[in-house]
Amino acid sequence: MEITARQEAEVQVLECSGRLTMVTARSLRDAVEQALGAGPPRLVLDLGEVGFVDSSGLGALISALKRARQAGGDLRIAAVTEQVRTVLKLTNLDRVLRPYADVPGARDGW
């Protein structure tokens, strides 16, 4: 998994690509920690290029949400692929991590 970080206004965007699995979940956790240490605790994960998420990947997403909230902020996900949307829906995590259509939609309204 490749993760690129950038800041847009008061929000940090982590653009993810690849597969979010047991092997790559640690990379996401590390990127979230680094982002929270570097700027505002409002994070948007751009998952538009993530083609697959397994249970470890879901755990990493929940961990990222929890960590952002502990830092006084929040985490939103954007541009999820159909596979990721299906997994979120099947696990009812779409209620906790509501997917936004795109990064601007997730970023606005904070």
What are the boundaries of each domain within the chain?
Answer: 2-103
pLDDT band at 110 (very low <50, low <70, confident <90, very high): confident
The pLDDT value given to residue 1: 93
| Predicted confidence (pLDDT) at residue 109 exceeds the cutoff of 80 | no
Q: Residues 55-88: pLDDT tens digits?
A: 999 999 999 999 999 999 999 999 999 999 999 9
| Predicted confidence (pLDDT) at residue 9 exceeds the cutoff of 90 | no
* 91 vs 70: CA distance, rounded Å: 23
* 23 vs 19: CA distance, rounded Å: 9
Tell me which CATH code domain 2-103 carries.
3.30.750.24
Whole-model pTM: value is 0.94
